[in-house]
Chain A
Amino acid sequence: MKLLSRYSGLALARRALTDSRWQRAWRSPDPKPSYDVIIVGGGGHGLATAYYLASRHGIRNVAVLERGYLGSGNVGRNTTLVRSNYLMPGNTQFFEHSLQLWEGLSHELNFNVMLSQRGQIVLAHGPGQLDVLARKGNTMRLNGIDAELMEREDVMRFLPFLDHSEHCRFPIYGGLFQQRAGTVRHDAVAWGYARAADRLGVDIIENCEVTGFLRDGDRVTGVETSRGTIHAGRTAISVAGHSSHVAAMLGMRLPIESHILQAFVTEPIKPFLDCVVSFGAELFYISQSDKGGMVFGGHIDGFNTYTQRGQFPRAQTVAECAVALIPAMSRLRLLRHWGGIQDMTPDGSPFIGRTPFRDLYINAGWCYQGFKATPATGWCLAHTIAHDAEHPLIRHLALDRHMAGNGHDEYGLGLWTYRQ
């Protein structure tokens, strides 16, 4: 029976030949009075944390509390890119661990997350920028990660429809290509982790908003929710975008501002762009979805807000980037666009680990790079909760690192670059 409740060719054939129904992918339980671990936030990160707690650490008496429905937050609002081309020690290894987990995720979860390793190229628009990319590529290769430096002629052969004219505002000098980078179907990540965690006994409780925390001195012992009081041995906050809002319930202030990032999809066209391209002259990245829509995004709007609705001037800038990079894009119509709220941090790096409160852990501050980190964040946060000690891969991401002057600045541009 257990074998048949897994997704497989056999299960598909059985249901094609009989009228037996597919089970719900996860249960819809009422909250129990107490759990060993409560994860606040049912996004990709929270669900992955619950899954790895149950599957790797044997902690199955776990609840994931989600204010809305699964997939309603940033896990369903990103541009679905995964890659591990990071320069800073700590980041390189963390994001490569994440990419390796992506590579095995469909088998691990028995759910097709549709990983497509179509490759990603980051473009350079000047010799200095190409030097920086060469250094990044060397760092990646020294860490066993695939990276290939492309000269101008290589990029012209590879992506002939980019604007390769020598007199455009930002001529293309070359780029750095990672073949193992690509895209993942983001909804399937939420559903796959939820289903796999549920099968291991994790309670996934939707429409359950946390309104406060239970405390015993400096210990956090549970949460108040819209569905009643729930006690917990340990509690983790993983609520991208609303981290400050939830932390304020404990009187904590974080080094975070909430900003909106927009994403865009055009009408579907025939296969055109078979990899992910990142513009080097502005923050702009584009890929083509399996349905044919061109999926792209740019920079945050620039002032803190919790409204998941973007401002028009940013849409205009992003469209200008698209046309500057791929002139043929000017013929496409925008089908839809949307916004997601990001935690922005001074150095562009997240915070994962313990907090000033005992038995309370936090995962926050992902800026706009959280989706690709989903498996590794879950992996490392589950370890941190289970052992009450940070996983080695996230020791550089401590919540109080700025107090010690240990900012972790991936781009080497100094702090607060997102404000400029």
Chain B
Amino acid sequence: MLRIPCPHCGERDYTEFRYAGDATKRRPVHGTEDVRAWYEHVFLFTNPKGPHREYWQHVQGCRQWLVLERDTATNTVGRSWLARTGAPS
């Protein structure tokens, strides 16, 4: 079972969370007219085999969004922090 450390609630089963994808992507500036910039943001993924930073929401706990470090080749879980703080603490 994948276990995720929630900064508020401690380590919990991943089934309490909702997965929300790559956390390293940056949304284009509002009003960007270049369609390719939006295409790349919405559709293209690095999808690395290895270290990954990703969003999870603790929907069955504190409901906070967090960023988790996980290795996609092994599912080894690393640090996590609240997404709104923007950096590991």
Q: Flag if A248 contacts B46 (CB, 8 Å).
A: yes
**Per-residue A-contact encoding for B44-55, CB less than 8 Å = 1, 0 else:** 111111001010
**Per-residue A-contact encoding for B30-48, CB less than 8 Å = 1, 0 else:** 0000011001101111111
B24 within 8 A of A: no
Q: Flag if B49 contacts A402 (CB, 8 Å).
A: no
**Interface extent on A, as a size class?**
20 to 34
Closest to B39 in A: A403
Q: Flag if B47 contacts A258 (CB, 8 Å).
A: yes
A256 within 8 A of B: yes
Q: What distance in Å separates the Cβ of B89 from its nearest Cβ neighbour in chain A?
A: 23
Q: In the complex, which of the residues B2, B39, B49 has the most CB atoms of chain A within 10 Å of its own CB atom?
A: B49
Q: Flag if A244 contacts B1 (CB, 8 Å).
A: no
With contacts A311-B1, A311-B2 known, is A303 near B45, CB below 8 A? Answer: no
Q: How far is the CA of A306 from the CA of B47 in the complex (A)?
A: 10
Q: Flag if B44 contacts A254 (CB, 8 Å).
A: yes
Q: Flag if B36 contacts A403 (CB, 8 Å).
A: yes
Q: Flag if A255 contacts B19 (CB, 8 Å).
A: no
Closest to B20 in A: A419
* B1: A residues at CB distance < 8 A: 311-313
Q: In the complex, which of the residues B21, B43, B54, B74 has the most CB atoms of chain A within 10 Å of its own CB atom?
A: B43
A307 within 8 A of B: yes
Q: Flag if B74 contacts A402 (CB, 8 Å).
A: no
* B44: A residues at CB distance < 8 A: 253-255
A60 within 8 A of B: no
Closest to B19 in A: A303
Q: Flag if A402 contacts B46 (CB, 8 Å).
A: no
Q: How far is the CA of A313 from the CA of B12 in the complex (A)?
A: 13
Q: Flag if A253 contacts B40 (CB, 8 Å).
A: yes
On chain B, the number of residues with a Cβ less than 8 Å from chain A's Cβ atoms is 25
Q: What distance in Å separates the Cβ of A393 from its nearest Cβ neighbour in chain B?
A: 24
Q: Flag if B46 contacts A244 (CB, 8 Å).
A: yes
Partner of A419, one of B2, B14, B19, B46: B19
A305 within 8 A of B: yes
Q: Flag if A311 contacts B14 (CB, 8 Å).
A: yes
* B40: A residues at CB distance < 8 A: 253
Q: How far is the CA of A242 from the CA of B48 in the complex (A)?
A: 9
Among residues 6 to 37 in chain B, which have CB atoms less than 8 Å away from a CB atom of chain A? 13-15, 19, 21, 35-36
B73 within 8 A of A: yes
Q: What distance in Å separates the Cβ of B17 from its nearest Cβ neighbour in chain A?
A: 9
* B74: A residues at CB distance < 8 A: 307
* A66: B residues at CB distance < 8 A: none
With contacts A253-B44, A254-B44, A313-B1 known, is A306 near B39, CB below 8 A? Answer: no
Among residues 60 to 89 in chain B, which have CB atoms less than 8 Å away from a CB atom of chain A? 72-75
Q: Flag if B47 contacts A244 (CB, 8 Å).
A: yes
* A242: B residues at CB distance < 8 A: 49
Q: How far is the CA of A303 from the CA of B53 in the complex (A)?
A: 12
Among residues 301 to 353 in chain A, which have CB atoms less than 8 Å away from a CB atom of chain B? 302-307, 309, 311-313, 346
* B14: A residues at CB distance < 8 A: 303, 311, 313
Q: How far is the CA of A254 from the CA of B40 in the complex (A)?
A: 9
With contacts A313-B1, A402-B39 known, is A256 near B46, CB below 8 A? Answer: no
A245 within 8 A of B: yes
B-side interface residues toward A, CB under 8 Å?
A: 1-2, 13-15, 19, 21, 35-36, 39-40, 42-49, 52, 54, 72-75
Sampled A-B contacts (5; CB under 8 Å): A245-B47, A253-B44, A254-B45, A304-B72, A306-B72
